[in-house]
A and B are shown apart, each in its own frame.
Chain A
Amino acid sequence: MDNEHIKDLARSAKLAFNEDDIKDWNEALKNVDAFAEKLSGLDSAAAPQPTERKMLFREDEIKPFADAAGLIADFKESEDDFCKVEKML
């Protein structure tokens, strides 16, 4: 297993890592490959197959909001035409 690929997986999983982690995870992914190999031997033709998933996109469009002033007024704090939320960090 390519270590760079494992690092990419870790980044997508939002996990900080060190080199020991990469070794550990390499072993874990080998197990997954072994499970995939095992499952490839299963004749699943008769089993119900999952339907293909499709991502449906629509064009973004800006629609004016009817009561923007009311929405902002409902907020605890606002500045100009923006609602203010508490700082997270």
Chain B
Amino acid sequence: MIKNSTVSVLNDAIKKIKEKNAELKAFIEIFEESALEQAKKIDEKRASGKPLGRLAGVCVGIQDNLMYKGHLMTCASKILQGQRAPFTATAVQRLIDEDAVIVGRLDMDELGAGPEVKTACADAVAAGMVPLALGTEAAGLKPTYGRISRYGLSAFSGSVDRIGIFANNAADAAIALGVLAGADDNDAMAYDIAVPDYTNALSTDLTGLKIGVLENCGYGESLETLKKLGAQIINVSLPSLQYGEACYRVLTSAEASANFEKFDGIRFGFAAEAENLDEVYSKTRAEGFGKEVKKTIISGHYILSKDNYKKTFVKAQAARAVIAADFKDAFKKCDIILTPATLGDMRFAADVAGLPRISAGNLYFYADKFKEEAILKAAYAFERAAKK
């Protein structure tokens, strides 16, 4: 919660965003008018002595694939040019309900389809433009699949999509997760599991915490740091890790190609000039999608074609089950698994298994499903130790 006037906090944030955005290009749009309106309401609430929400006055950036009613939401794609959100995403609404201020939308890889180069959420927070951002980029805190409702998140790959939290530290991420997590009638995959107060897990004492590490990973001095904090380091193996990327790419391309079928120039955003209906579809899609998205679509159609379906999609689904079983075995021996952030296969494998992770420095901490408290605790202690 911010104790200063929300309007002044917002004005400072907007000034900073404008200064830094010329270089970073993290924000696509600043919601100056609606943000100011929100900030004024929060200040009125404060002045009248009403209780304030857990995120009162916190300025938040949302990625361009999250709906905020009446505001543009284009997934950084021409295909959704001019498209306004018809409703507000559950995650965004939960922020608003806790008196956060939504200041603008952040850039992303077109429709989330790669090539995984844009890091606007992480950049905006790291540059101090906003203390909190929501998005689907790789870094930050990625909670368990189904921990945060995806209602109002434009779908890329339904079995993998998760809204991530980007904050300056694990403590802030813990507060935000407490606000965002929980069941939602509008998303059947948002699990109805009690949401703990994640801040209770934050501690600099890791005594009793078992951290699994993989062979041949460059951990540098981080293991020594974690041992000094009381953690026990255990070797674990994940034999199916090598299939992580293949499994992820096959499943997400197939699902994304199906999800993107609806973008045809009739209901959403951009429509190309054409002579007949078939041409409207094909020209709109050719002109509206970028290169990477088109590759994803063609790949998805190829994967789902009769000749390839079994050896790609079905096999990838089986790989997903094997990967999940490997993780289950590993988490019998340890509470979290630590890897360098550069170990891409681990990230892809954890994504298809729906496991939570958090980035801290150049490391990723992973845990079993719904064990976010363990990774928040480890990341919090590690961040504190690294600052000393």
Contacts and interface: CB of A to CB of B under 8 A. Distances in A.
Given A15-B297, A32-B250, A39 B277 contact: no
Given A29-B298, A42-B243, A42-B322, A36 B305 contact: no
26 contacts: A9-B301, A13-B298, A13-B300, A13-B301, A14-B264, A14-B281, A15-B285, A15-B286, A15-B294, A16-B282, A25-B298, A29-B298, A29-B299, A32-B250, A32-B302, A32-B312, A39-B243, A39-B315, A39-B319, A40-B315, A43-B322, A44-B318, A46-B322, A47-B318, A49-B318, A50-B314
A25 B298 CA distance: 7
A13, A25, A88 interface centre (most CB from chain B within 10 Å):
A13
Contacts of B297: 13, 15
**Interface SS of B by simple majority:** helix
Interface residues of B, number: 50
Given A25-B295, A47-B321, A48-B321, A35 B301 contact: no
B291 interface: yes
A29 B304 CA distance: 12
A77 interface: no
Interface residues of A, number: 33
Interface in B269-311: 274, 276-283, 285-287, 289, 291, 294-303, 305, 308, 311
Interface of B: 240, 242-243, 245-247, 249-250, 253, 257, 261, 264, 266, 274, 276-283, 285-287, 289, 291, 294-303, 305, 308, 311-312, 314-319, 321-322, 325
A28 B299 contact: yes
A88 B271 CA distance: 12
Given A13-B298, A36-B312, 16 more contacts: A9-B301, A14-B281, A14-B285, A21-B294, A24-B291, A32-B303, A34-B246, A36-B250, A36-B308, A39-B243, A39-B316, A39-B319, A42-B243, A44-B315, A46-B325, A88-B266
A11 to B, nearest CB: 8
B77 to A, nearest CB: 14
Contacts of B253: 32
A17 interface: yes
A49 B278 CA distance: 38
Q: Is the interface of A mostly helix, strand, loop or mixed?
A: helix
Interface string A7-23: 00111111111000100
A66 interface: no
Contact of A31 (B249, B291, B316): B249
A39 to B, nearest CB: 4
B256 to A, nearest CB: 12
A47 B322 contact: yes
Contacts, number: 116
A6 interface: yes
B247 A39 contact: yes
Given A24-B291, A25-B298, A32-B312, A42 B317 contact: no
Interface string A39-71: 110111011111000000000000000000000
Contacts of A39: 243, 246-247, 250, 311-312, 315-316, 319
Contacts of B279: 16
A47 to B, nearest CB: 4
A89 interface: yes
B315 A6 contact: no
Q: Sorted from nearest, which 8 A-B pairs have the closest CB atoms?
A: A44-B318, A16-B286, A35-B246, A47-B321, A28-B295, A16-B282, A38-B246, A47-B318
Contacts of B281: 14
A15 B303 contact: no
Given A9-B298, A50-B314, A35 B291 contact: no
Nearest to B253: A32
B266 A44 contact: no
Contacts of B299: 28-29, 31-32
Contacts of A11: 282
A9 B307 CA distance: 12
A17 B315 contact: no
Interface in A61-89: 88-89
A14 B261 CA distance: 9
A19 B302 CA distance: 18
A44 B321 CA distance: 8
